[in-house]
Amino acid sequence: MSNKNEANTSEYELNKTKDSFQGNDLPKNSSKKKIKMPPLKTKQTYKKKSGLEYIEKKSQIDKEKKIQMSQTLIYNKNKIRSIEDIERMNKEKKENDNISNNDLDKDSTSLETEKSKNLLDSTSISEKKKEKEKHNSKKKRRKSADEEMISQKNSSYDDIIYEICTSTKGLKNLGNTCFMNTCLQTLIHSEYFIKSLIYKKKLISTRNTPITYYFIKLLELMISQDNDVVSPKDFKEIISEKHHRFRGYSQHDCQEFCRILLEDMNQELNEIKTPEPYKELSTLNKSKMECDKEFDETFKKRENSLIMDCFYSQIINIFKCECGFETYSFQKVLDFPLLLPKKNDSKTTIKDLLDEFFETEEIKFETKCEKCHKKTNHEKKAKFSQPPNILILSLQRIDERRKRKNKCSVEFPDKLSIADYIDDDCGHKNENKYELYGISKHYGDMEFGHYFAYIKLDGKRWYEFNDSKVISNSDEKYSSFISSSAYILFYKKL
């Protein structure tokens, strides 16, 4: 009980003195002399003293102990704070170390990654390079294979062309069809034409080209059949469907048939689907070469085919005014009809006939001259501006008005030069050498006659193609020919 009262009294004294001092200040009723903290093992000493003195001492000791405890608490608190700070600092340091280590790890990782990336990049580059080299090698192999295939294809084409152009098979006469057989044989043995046709065979077979298609079928028969004679029945039927004049078995003109056949094939093989409208070209302040090139380019925007390339030539007509001013016009020509002397027993040469065809003539212009603005007489002169690859010369032996045939003898060379008939300013002066390779002949008169072809094969030997009969001539080379039966001459450019 006394212990409980002592405890309450000490608490009371402690609370009472709590407001009377701050920090380490002593209470007012105590002496100014500082009291040293007694040792903790003084409990028995205090118990031996009397009651009031004990209480006072005890309260004083408790106060001092309280102060010491508060100081200890503050110290411990500060200590705790400092520990916390240290721990925090250590933690921060650790974190910083971790961060730096992470950064180092990251840097090292990034370096390793970059190295690996560079390694991968170098590896990928090397792999890409290897793949590219592999692709290029494959491409080269494929290209070489394609080239080899193309060369094989071309060589096979060349073999086919050679086999066709050197074929000695005859064509069956279906009944007065010698005019057609003669024309077909000369075209079949026109190497430049056949080569162009064979190389474009795939294109031709997919288009609406019935006449050309059956002409190619005829070529295939010339090299596929074992027998020496081929029937052109299918070809005759297809061309008779378009041109009714060739129906039946009447005789027709070989020149007319040849011209119609080539014009039809030209239309079928025309590569221009939507031709440009015709426009008149101005020749003012332009050279001949410029005008020639412009006309050719403009014309080929309306018509452009392998027939045009093989057989058509370009002619320049030069109109010269009395004042000396020249204007030009151009035209495409398939064949050249050469007029013969009127006397049957006369003789002439192919050069004389060409001179007459290309001679200067005088005409009167209906329009005024662009320079002198007068209607004057003009000189007209025709020349080749672009010579053809195959030159067709048609000798005009049939006189329709008089109903008779001209049997004039014509001398023509094996090698022909047309240098005198080529315009010097159009850029084709050197393209003037030609070699004879085919002759269409006609024996008889207008009422009754017969056509056959005389053809030089492989540039060496001449053969006579008389429908189904093919006769070989000697190997003798002819520098010129004289004939009263020659009807169409076929020359190839050298």
**Residues annotated as part of the active site:** 178, 450
Q: CA-based angle 373:374:378, to the nearest 5?
A: 115
Distance of CA 281 to the CA centre of its chain: 32
Helix (H) / strand (E) element for 393: namely strand 390-396
Helix (H) / strand (E) element for 51: namely helix 51-165
CB atoms under 10 Å from CB of 217, counted, come to 15
Q: What is the 3-state secondary structure (H, E, C) of 19-34?
A: CCCCCCCCCCCCCCCC
Q: What is the number of H-type helices and E-type strands within the chain? A: 12, 19
Please state, in angstroms and rounded to a whole number, the distance separating the CA atoms of residues 374 and 87. 120
Three-state SS for 18?
helix
Please state, in angstroms and rounded to a whole number, the distance separating the CA atoms of residues 297 and 304. 10
Helix (H) / strand (E) element for 381: namely strand 377-386
As to burial, measured by CB atoms within 10 angstroms (0-12 exposed, 13-18 middle, 19+ buried), residue 149 is: exposed
Pairing of strands 480-483, 377-386: unpaired
